[in-house]
Each structure stands twice: as C-alpha cells, then as structure tokens.
C-alpha cells in the first residue's frame, strides 16, 4: 500500500447546494488519501441520488461517513491552521498564501475550506480562516466548479507534501542555494581558478547557471560533495608541498 497521503489535511465544504459536488469531492478524498472531510450546513440531499453515483467504489463509503457540522467554527476546532479558498479579494479578503507554498508553510492539521457554489464564503466565515488563498485562472472565465477547485488544490498539495516520500527531493530555493555558492567559491579558490584576477565575476556567472537550472536537493548534495573533495584534496597537497 502506498504511503503517499494528505493525512494531516481536512477538506470542508460549506453550504454546498449541488449534490454532484459533494459526491465528486468524496471521490477526491479517496484519490488523494485525505485524512478527513466534512460538510458544513449542506443545502442539498447528498445521501442518495446523483452524489452516490459520483462517488464510486470505496469513495462511496467515504461519502456516507462524512460528518456534518452546523457551523464552520465547529468544524475547525481541532485544526492548527484554516485556509479559505476564495475567488474574490478585497479589503476584508486579503490573500495571504499561495497554493504552491501551502503545505511547506503550514505545519500541523490544516483545514481546507471551500465555500458555496454561488457566493463562496461569507465575511464571518473568512474571518475564521487563518489564511486566504485564490486559484489562478484565465481572466475571461475565472469561476471554477467547486469540485474542480478541490481537485486542483488537492493535486498541488499532494505533490508538494509527498515529494520527499516519492524520492523527489524538490527544486531548491534561492536561500538553499546560497550555502552551495559559498562552497563553490571556496572550491574555485582552492583550484586557483581566478578568472583572470576576478574570481567574483566567475562565481557570479556560475550562480546564474545554477539559478536557471532548477537544481534539486539531491543534485546540490552531489555538487557539494564534489566541492568538499576538491577542497580536501587541495589542502592535502598543500600540506605535503615543500616550503
């Protein structure tokens, strides 16, 4: 059995009016091995009919076991962070989180809250969220179907959350590159590679290459291992050389 999962996440649908969206979301909970799901004040019949048809296989049991909460406040009591997804930003709806960094920025149990099909989350509900996030779409037709929004969010978070477990070390950030650049500079100095008297210019050019390359953590580890070997070998030879 795969260990890949979103076990620390809790997907909450608020005031859902279309039963197909609930059935499709139950299926997504199974697709991405989401820890918990729940419905907040649902406005449709979801225990029979089309929602059951949308949730096929094992996801049908998941659908029928979804807990129902009277309010969002009740649903998020056990969560460390609450991310509300909204299509509208404004004075009271300031976006504070990008989807691509959600998993890495928020530790602990995280609620992912999706609002109604017609007017999303209320002002009071967004006030309960610790973070607000919006999905990027084409400007001409920006409104995503509710279950499609859930699919986009879970797919992106699943990839981010499980990269290391899959053996994917992920692309390093600019901050993570800096120690490597220092190490690389030391290696160039050990080799006597001065670039015509301007070693800083050589290092600056190499930095641009690595910054554009999208280097992974595993690759950085390999490169730093090479740097360490270069510095070690040059130091050993210098120590053996006659004065």
- DSSP string across the chain: -----EEEEEEEEES---HHHHHHHHHHHHHTTEEEEEEES--S--SSTHHHHHS-THHHHHHHT--EESSHHHHTTT-SEEEEE-S--BTTB-----GGGHHHH--S-EEEEE-BTTTBS-HHHHHT-SEEE-----TTS-PPPHHHHHHHHHHHHHHHHHHHHHT---BPPHHHHHHHHHHHHHHHHHHT--TTT-HHHHHHHHHHHHHHHT-BHHHHHHHHHHHHHHHHHHHHHHHHS--
pLDDT of res. 242: 44
Quote the mean pLDDT of the chain. 87
pLDDT in tens, 171-225: 677 778 889 999 998 998 888 887 677 778 888 889 888 887 778 888 899 999 9
Residue spans per domain, the chain: 6-166, 174-240
pLDDT in tens, 118-157: 989 999 999 999 999 998 888 888 888 999 999 999 999 9
pLDDT band of residue 243 (cuts 50, 70, 90) is very low
With pLDDT > 70 as the criterion, what percentage of the chain qualifies? Answer: 90
pLDDT of res. 41: 97
pLDDT of res. 228: 94
Per the confidence metrics, is the pTM higher than 0.85?
A: no
Instruction: Please give the CATH architecture assigned to the domain spanning 6-166.
Output: 3-Layer(aba) Sandwich (3.40)
pLDDT band of residue 91 (cuts 50, 70, 90) is low
Instruction: Please give the CATH architecture assigned to the domain spanning 174-240.
Output: Orthogonal Bundle (1.10)
Question: If you average pLDDT over each of 32-46, 75-89, 149-163, which comes out highest?
Answer: 32-46
pLDDT of res. 215: 82
């Amino acid at each position: 059995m795969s260990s890949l999962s979103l076990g620390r996440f809790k997907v909450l649908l608020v005031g859902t009016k279309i039963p197909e969206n609930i059935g499709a979301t139950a299926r997504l909970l199974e697709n991405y091995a989401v820890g918990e799901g729940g419905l907040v004040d649902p406005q449709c019949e979801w225990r029979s009919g089309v929602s059951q048809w949308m949730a096929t296989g094992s996801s049908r049991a998941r659908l029928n076991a979804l807990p129902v909460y009277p309010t969002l406040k009740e649903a998020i009591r056990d969560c460390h962070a609450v991310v509300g997804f909204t299509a509208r930003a404004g004075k009271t709806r300031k976006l504070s989180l990008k989807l691509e960094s959600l998993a890495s920025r928020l530790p602990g149990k995280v609620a992912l809250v999706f609002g109604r099909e017609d007017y999303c989350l209320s002002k009071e509900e967004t006030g309960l969220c610790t973070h607000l996030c919006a999905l990027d779409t084409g400007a001409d037709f920006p409104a995503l179907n509710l279950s499609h929004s859930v699919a986009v969010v879970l797919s992106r978070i699943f990839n981010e959350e499980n990269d290391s477990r899959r053996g994917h070390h992920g692309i390093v950030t600019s901050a993570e590159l800096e120690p490597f650049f220092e190490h690389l500079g030391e290696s160039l100095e050990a080799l006597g590679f001065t670039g015509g008297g301007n070693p800083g210019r050589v290092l600056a050019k190499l930095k641009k290459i690595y910054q554009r390359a999208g280097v992974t953590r595993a690759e950085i580890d390999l490169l730093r291992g090479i740097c360490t070997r270069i510095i070690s070998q040059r130091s050993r030879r210098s120590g053996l050389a006659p004065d």
